[in-house]
Amino acid sequence: MKLGTIIAAAAIAASALPAAAAVPLVNSPITVTTADVGKAFTYNFNGIVDEVEQPGLAAAITFTLTGFVGNAWTFSAAINNNLPNTPVAGRITSFGFNSRPDIAAVTPLSGPFMASQLNGSFPQTGGGTTIDFCLEDQAGGGCGGGGNGVFNNTSALQTFTLTLAGSPTTSATFNNFILRWQSVAGNFQGTSGIGMGTGGGGFDPGGGEVPEPATWAMLLTGFGLVGFAARRRRGALSVSA
C-alpha cells in the first residue's frame, strides 16, 4: 500500500473517532423563596481532573439568602477549601450554577471573586460546559479564573447579587453547581479541573426539621418528668412553710 493511501486512511479513521465528551453536570436542584431570608443551603464539591475524579480533592460552599429587593436577590457564600486530604490540594478560582428563572445580571459585592460572566464556559477536557453565571477571581477566560481565588487550607466569604429575569418572582430554582480547580497537586492527570456540587441537606424551607415519632415520645416524657419534679418541689416548699 502506498504511503499516501496509508496517511489518507489514517486521517479518515481519526476523523471517525468520537470527540471526548464533557463531564456531565450533576442534577441536584434547590428551590429558594423570598420567605427563606436568613436560611442556608450547603453544596459539597468533588474534584475532577482530566475527567478522572481525584480522591481527597473536595470543597464545600454554604449559600445564605441575606435579602432581596424586587428581583435582585443577595446571597453570601461561605467557601470552605479546608477539605482536601494530603497530599492532594487545589485552589478554587471560580464557581457558578444554573438558574430558573434566568439570571439577567450579577453583581459581585465583596470577596475573592470580583468578576462575573453570564453564560460562561467552564473549561474541561472534552469541551466547555456552559453555565448560566459564574463568579471568578479574574475577568475573562470563560470562567477559568486567574492566579488568586480561595487557596488550599483556607476559607472565604463571598457576597453577590443575582438579578432574576422576567416579572417579579418570589421563588427560584438553582441547579448544576460547579467550581473550577487550579494549581492542583498530588496527582498525575493535570493541574486544573472542575468540581461538581451535590446538595448536602443543609437547607430546610419549612423552618426546621420535624422530629421522628420516637423523638416526640422522648420529648413528651422529658416534659412530663420536668413538670412532675416542679410539682413535687412546690409541694415540698408549701409543707416546709
More confident residue, 67 or 86: 67
In a domain, 47, yes or no: yes
Spatial contact of 186 and 87, defined as CB atoms under 8 Å apart: yes
pLDDT band at 168 (very low <50, low <70, confident <90, very high): confident
CA–CA separation, 101 and 169 (whole Å): 9
pLDDT band for position 186 (50/70/90)? confident
Establish if 190 belongs to a structural domain.
Answer: yes
Q: Is residue 188 part of a domain?
A: yes
Please tell me the predicted confidence (pLDDT) of residue 167.
Answer: 85
Number of Cβ atoms within 10 Å of the Cβ of 130: 14
Question: Over 70: is that where the pLDDT of 188 sits?
Answer: no
Greater model confidence, 209 or 101: 101
pLDDT of residue 220: 46
Of all residues in the chain, the percent with pLDDT exceeding 90 is: 55
70 is a domain residue: yes
Determine the average pLDDT of the residues in 130-144: 87
In a domain, 149, yes or no: yes
Q: What is the model's pLDDT at position 73?
A: 98
Mean pLDDT of the chain: 80
pLDDT at 204: 54
What is the phi/psi pair of residue 240, to 5°?
-65, -25
pLDDT tens figures, 27-61: 999 999 999 999 999 999 999 988 889 989 999 99
Would residue 16 count as lying in a domain?
no
Tell me the pLDDT tens digit for each residue of 221-237: 554 554 545 555 444 43
Phi, psi of 107 (to 5 degrees): -125, 105
pLDDT band at 239 (very low <50, low <70, confident <90, very high): very low
Q: What is the 3-state secondary structure (H, E, C) of the chain?
A: CCHHHHHHHHHHHHHHCCCCCCCCCCCCCEEEEHHHCCCEEEEEECCEECCEECCCCCEEEEEEEEEEECCEEEEEEEEEECCCCCCCEEEEEEEEEEEECCEEEEEEEECCCCEEEEEEEECCCCCCEEEEEEEECCCCCCCCCCCCCECCCEEEEEEEEEEECCCCCCEEEEEEEEEEEEEEECCCCCCCEEEEEEECCCCCCCCCCCCCHHHHHHHHHHHHHHHHHHHHHHHHHHHHC
* Domain-embedded: residue 8: no
pLDDT for the residue 189: 75
Give the CATH number, domain containing residue 93.
Answer: 2.60.40
Count how many domains the chain has: 1
Could you list the residue range(s) of the whole structural domain that residue 109 is in? 38-199
